[in-house]
Structure 1
Amino acid sequence: MMLWLLQQTVLLSFVCGILLVGHSAFQKHLGAHKTYSLWMMLPLVLISSVLANYLPSNFLPVQSNQIAYYSIKAGKAITQSESTWYSQTLIAIWVLGFILMSLTLFLQGTYLKKLLLTAKKVEKLDSYLPTYSHPKVLSPMLVGFFNPRIILPTNFLSLSQLKQHSIIAHEQYHHKRFDLPCNLLAYGILTIFWFNPLFWLAYRRFRDDQELACDAEVTETLNKEEKIIYSKMLLAYSQQANHGLLHTHYGNKHILKERIMQMKTRQKGQSGLAVLGLTITLGLSSLLLNQQVLAGDDKGNDIHPVIRIEPVYPAAAVKANQNGFVVLQFDISPQGEVNNIKVIKSSPTAMFDASATEALKKWRYKESKTGAKGSMVQLDFVIEAPTSDIERIKVTSK
């Protein structure tokens, strides 16, 4: 679990960094809609991490053109016991943060549910979604995954028809684009990686880009005077806007200037084919990135076990302070089982053979269509790991 979190944190941090640093350039050349679509890269990376683990085992044969190396240390059990408290502490901290994030989401959901119970129905508005008003709501917002509703401030009916239409269109576009489920997904990712500050910055930028994309959609057909009116509404509703995880926030004072400046430039339209192509490109890119991360875990080996049993360090070798190695050749069945094990070379002769062979019988590899023949592994038995200042050079003969 912790290893997966670390791998995905590094990869997602790289993606977040690109999206944050290059945001201005993306907005300028791609427009608000496609820039917002770029955030799909993050969930696609996580999905691809699952696909990268399971798809190759079903479609690709196991490669066995390289020898794998593993070290078995006599003092490894002691080292693991000494480091257990450290790993357990990290896991406990992560679990605590995960619980707090989940609790925050639950409490806000409870608050919104109570808010809806006391909200007043608003009739005769040009909206295909049910509309309500509530005195505690200071800025228009869309609420509800299964029964979406628009909640408005109590002074909404005093606005002109143009203002009302623009606000309703803004919130309805949130609904058409499934922004509420996207927000929940984004917060879910943040909940998993809450310990990374970069994810908090990315989450905030994602929500801001969401509003910018909606503004671009609504103001696309407005003239200059109408855009000025729309800007004034943004200013009015951004002073005391309701910010939350489970609803949209029309008023957003953090990017008020950016939203107003965007109206002065002509936005690139949202092409269905362009978004589809962008989605496919992002999906393939994320799959490639995850495959590279997994390849890095293999330390250059094309073949690695999914279950690896540690050999028992022979008592006689421990007593004699004896190091050594065993080179084993074996076959892998399509089911990932190990068979036909042969000792190719060992040193000292026969000292570690039995222990290495017995452990290798219990190893399991990924399932594949053809399995593999003649796979090789070298198990290095080491009493004590060399110090970091000693250079290690592997010498092979032709």
Structure 2
Amino acid sequence: MTELLQGMLLASMWLSIGAMLLAALRPLLRRLGGAPLVYRSWWLLPLVLLATLLPLPGVPLDEATPVHALGAALRAPVLPADAVLWPTLLVALWAAGALLAGTLQWRGQRRFERGMGALHRRSDGNWQASADPGLPALVGLWSPRVVVGPDFDLRFSAAERALILQHECQHRRHGDHWANAALALLRCLFWFHPLLPWASRRFLRDQELACDARTVDPHPASRRLYANALLKAQLVHPVAPMACHWRSQPMLKERIAMMKEHKRSALPRVTGQVLVVGLCMGLGAVAWASQAGSGGSPAISAEPFQFAQEDAAKAGLERPVTIDKMPPPSYPTSAFENNQSGEVVLRVEVDAQGRVSDVRVLSATNPGVFDAASIAAARQWTYRPAMKDGKAVAAAVRIPVNFAMTETVTGQ
């Protein structure tokens, strides 16, 4: 539960950073590459979120690093019962919110699709609905279809119809319906995020502006005709979450104003593309690396002499088992990612030749987390056998091995 909450918190933080950065850079990107470049810059958010999910490389420690003996044992803190309950309640609240957000979006999409009524295939290969809940639009995910309203042929001229259909085909060609589905998923997962509603509205507006630019840029003479077609169709119906609508009343002025912009030259567009790519790669790399910064640095220590004399006295030995070389174990990747610390007490049996005959775990503060790494390291250590009556004999020794993150040690 705690891992999920930490992951959501980290992803939410980077979602906020990415959204604010896009808001700040939007005017510059608009000047360099126009609406299409601004729309492509939204790739920053999913890339940053995916970067926080990529696993960090393992953190094996260098075998040449000495194992330092510490006098005080490092033990994982014991959490109170309510501290264990709170993560469960928060995860349950998040899951309930995500389910509710998903249900509302699904109902909105279904309401829109049912509102179209029966669909009929047109001679141009598109589809015509018997009712108009907010058409024309690109509807569907796996097999998207361009659907127009029942009065499409009467309301628009032939040239206007061609531009509108070309606009919807641009949505389909560039996969905007998949982008809307991804947005719907983000709105379910991050329903609690205060910046996501603004980012969703701005993303959909930039999507329409980019599609407008891709439609009219190859035909500059059709800009006025395109603007007239926009004025004829005002969307007053609720929009569907995953449909690409032609009509969009809240941004009508912005879409018509974009018709007056001229196509950018090659140099500013290339500069803008490089800026967007560099921004995505740079912020994604920082987000990926931030997973390591949240947990501190790993440190491993052992106390080979803590119980040596006590064990030797119980067995009547003249000299206890000693250790010459102790290459440290590797810090388990899962424990490092979750910022876990713990202590494992081993019982190592050494024969008269100084070879390890058996290694067992006597106790562990986090059972199963550090056991395997500790046992594997103990089998590689170099031992000197115990002495009794002047002869080497088989004996056992207890060795505590401590795994800690530096920030955890500082806080104790």
Q: Same fold (TM over 0.5)?
A: yes
Structure 1, 150-159 or 196-205: larger mean CA deviation: 150-159
What does the per-residue CA deviation read over 1:176-232, in whole Å, with 9 as the maximum and x for residues that have no partner?
Answer: 0011011101111121111012011111111111000010011113345x3222112
Cα distance in 1, alignment partners of residues 366 and 90 from structure 2: 32
Residue 248 (structure 1) aligned with residue 244 (structure 2): yes
Partner amino acid, structure 2, of 1:363: V
Classify 1:256/1:378 alpha carbon distance in 2 versus 1 (closer, same or farther; 3 Å): closer
Partner amino acid, structure 1, of 2:30: Q
Residue 99 (structure 1) aligned with residue 99 (structure 2): yes
Partner amino acid, structure 1, of 2:29: F
Question: Do 1:109 and 1:246's aligned partners in 2 also have CA atoms closer than 8 Å?
Answer: yes
Report the secondary structure of 1:205's partner residue. helix
Structure 1, 160-169 or 106-115: larger mean CA deviation: 106-115
Residue 267 (structure 1) aligned with residue 270 (structure 2): no
Cα distance in 2, alignment partners of residues 334 and 240 from structure 1: 57
Matches within 5 A, 1:302-341: 330-332=328-330
Question: Do 2:121 and 2:128's aligned partners in 1 also have CA atoms closer than 8 Å?
Answer: yes
Question: Do 1:331 and 1:339's aligned partners in 2 also have CA atoms closer than 8 Å?
Answer: no
What does the per-residue CA deviation read over 1:133-159, in whole Å, with 9 as the maximum and x for residues that have no partner?
Answer: 332234310001222211112221122
Report the secondary structure of 1:120's partner residue. strand
Equivalent residue, structure 2, for 1:15: 18
Question: Do 2:32 and 2:272's aligned partners in 1 also have CA atoms closer than 8 Å?
Answer: no
What does the per-residue CA deviation read over 1:239-294, in whole Å, with 9 as the maximum and x for residues that have no partner?
Answer: 42551112011111222111111111113489999898677545532431223321
Report the secondary structure of 2:328's partner residue. strand
Classify 1:100/1:362 alpha carbon distance in 2 versus 1 (closer, same or farther; 3 Å): closer
Equivalent residue, structure 2, for 1:170: 167
Residue 33 (structure 1) aligned with residue 36 (structure 2): yes
Cα distance in 1, alignment partners of residues 264 and 133 from structure 2: 33
| Structure 1 residue ranges without an equivalent (≥5) | 305-327, 344-353, 383-391
Equivalent residue, structure 2, for 1:231: 227
- Residue from 350, 363, 369 that aligns with 1:363: 369
Aligned sequence identity (%): 20
Measure how far apart 1:341 and its partner are. Answer: 7.5
Structure 1, 150-159 or 198-207: larger mean CA deviation: 150-159
Cα distance in 2, alignment partners of residues 268 and 70 from structure 1: 63
Cα distance in 1, alignment partners of residues 180 and 169 from structure 2: 15
Report the secondary structure of 1:146's partner residue. coil
Report the secondary structure of 1:197's partner residue. coil
| Structure 2 residue ranges without an equivalent (≥5) | 301-325, 336-341, 348-359, 382-400
Report the secondary structure of 2:250's partner residue. helix
Classify 1:339/1:121 alpha carbon distance in 2 versus 1 (closer, same or farther; 3 Å): same
Cα distance in 2, alignment partners of residues 365 and 342 from structure 1: 9
- Residue from 200, 222, 232 that aligns with 1:203: 200
Structure 1, 145-154 or 131-140: larger mean CA deviation: 131-140
Measure how far apart 1:169 and its partner are. Answer: 0.5
Question: Do 1:131 and 1:151's aligned partners in 2 also have CA atoms closer than 8 Å?
Answer: yes
Classify 1:356/1:23 alpha carbon distance in 2 versus 1 (closer, same or farther; 3 Å): farther
Cα distance in 2, alignment partners of residues 175 and 23 from structure 1: 25
Matches within 5 A, 1:65-104: 72-73=76-77, 76-77=78-79, 79=80, 81-104=81-104
Query: TM (normalized to structure 1)?
Result: 0.70
- Mark the structure with the bigger radius of gyration: 2
Aligned length: 336
- Residue from 183, 186, 198 that aligns with 1:186: 183
Classify 1:355/1:115 alpha carbon distance in 2 versus 1 (closer, same or farther; 3 Å): same
Classify 1:27/1:238 alpha carbon distance in 2 versus 1 (closer, same or farther; 3 Å): farther
Classify 1:279/1:47 alpha carbon distance in 2 versus 1 (closer, same or farther; 3 Å): farther
- Residue from 2, 7, 18 that aligns with 1:4: 7
Question: Do 2:101 and 2:188's aligned partners in 1 also have CA atoms closer than 8 Å?
Answer: yes
